[in-house]
DNA sequence: GCCAACGTTGGC
DNA sequence: GCCAACGTTGGC
C-alpha cells in the first residue's frame, strides 16, 4: 500500500515544470525537524502531491517516490534527509488553495493548519478528493 | 506591506 | 529551563 504525501515548494525556487523537464530529482534542502521526520517514512511507490506556494497557491502535479529517503550531506553537520522523486502526472488545471479550503473533508489537511510545514502526510481519501474530485490529471 | 504561526538563538 | 528578540514562511 502506497502512502500519500504533499510536498510544498516555492516555484521560483523549484517548480513542478522543472521536475517534469528533468524527469526526476533529489528533493532536498528541507531544514525542519517535523518535515524531516516525515521523510523517514517515505518509501518506494508512494505518491506526493506537489504544491506551489507564494503567488500560485495551488496543487499542480503528482510525483512518485522512487526510493527511501537518504542522508543529505550538510556542511553545518546537520542530520537531514533528501528523497528521489519522479514526475508522475500533471493536473489539467492547478487545484487552488481557495478551492481546497471549501471542502469540509479537507479541513484537517496540515496544509491548511500548519502553513509552514513543507512535507506532510495526507490520507488516501484526501488524495483521491484532490486528484479526482477537485482536480483532474493528465493522461 | 502586514501579520500569524512557528522555529531559533542567546541571555539569564 | 525560561523567555524575549529575532528570523522565516506563507497567506492575505
Better-scored residue on pLDDT, A19 or A115: A19
Chain segment A18-59, per-residue pLDDT in tens: 999 999 999 999 999 999 999 999 999 999 999 999 999 999
A22 touches strand C (CB under 7 A): no
Q: For all residues of chain A together, what is the average pLDDT?
A: 94
| A75 confidence band (pLDDT: 50, 70, 90) | confident
pLDDT at residue A74 is higher than 90: no
Residue-level pLDDT at A63: 98
pTM for this entry: 0.94
> Which phi-psi region, left, alpha or beta, contains residue A111 (left: φ > 0; alpha: ψ -120 to 50)?
alpha
The per-residue pLDDT for A62 is 98
C1' of C10 to CA of A37 (Å): 21
CA of A71 to C1' of B3 (A): 36
| Mean pLDDT in residue range A74-81 | 85
Residue A34 CA to nucleotide B4 C1', Å?
19
Chain B positions with a protein C-beta closer than 7 Å = 4-8
List all nucleotides in chain C with at least one atom under 7 A from a protein Cβ. Answer: 8-12
Locate the DSSP E strands across A1-139: 4-9, 24-27, 47-52, 58-65, 70-72, 80-96, 119-122
Amino acid at each position: 500500500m502506497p502512502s500519500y504525501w504533499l510536498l510544498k515548494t516555492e516555484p521560483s525556487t523549484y517548480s513542478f515544470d522543472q521536475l517534469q523537464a528533468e524527469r526526476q530529482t533529489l528533493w532536498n534542502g528541507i531544514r525542519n525537524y517535523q518535515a524531516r521526520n516525515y521523510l523517514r517514512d517515505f518509501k518506494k511507490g508512494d505518491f506526493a502531491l506537489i504544491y506551489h506556494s507564494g503567488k500560485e497557491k495551488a496543487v499542480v502535479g503528482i510525483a512518485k517516490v522512487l526510493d527511501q529517503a537518504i542522508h543529505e550531506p550538510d556542511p553545518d553537520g546537520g542530520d537531514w534527509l533528501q528523497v528521489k522523486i519522479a514526475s508522475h502526472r500533471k493536473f489539467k488545471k492547478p487545484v487552488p488553495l481557495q478551492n481546497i479550503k471549501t471542502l469540509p473533508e479537507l479541513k484537517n489537511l496540515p496544509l491548511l493548519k500548519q502553513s509552514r510545514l513543507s512535507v506532510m502526510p495526507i490520507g488516501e481519501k484526501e488524495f483521491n478528493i484532490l486528484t479526482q474530485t477537485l482536480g483532474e490529471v493528465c493522461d
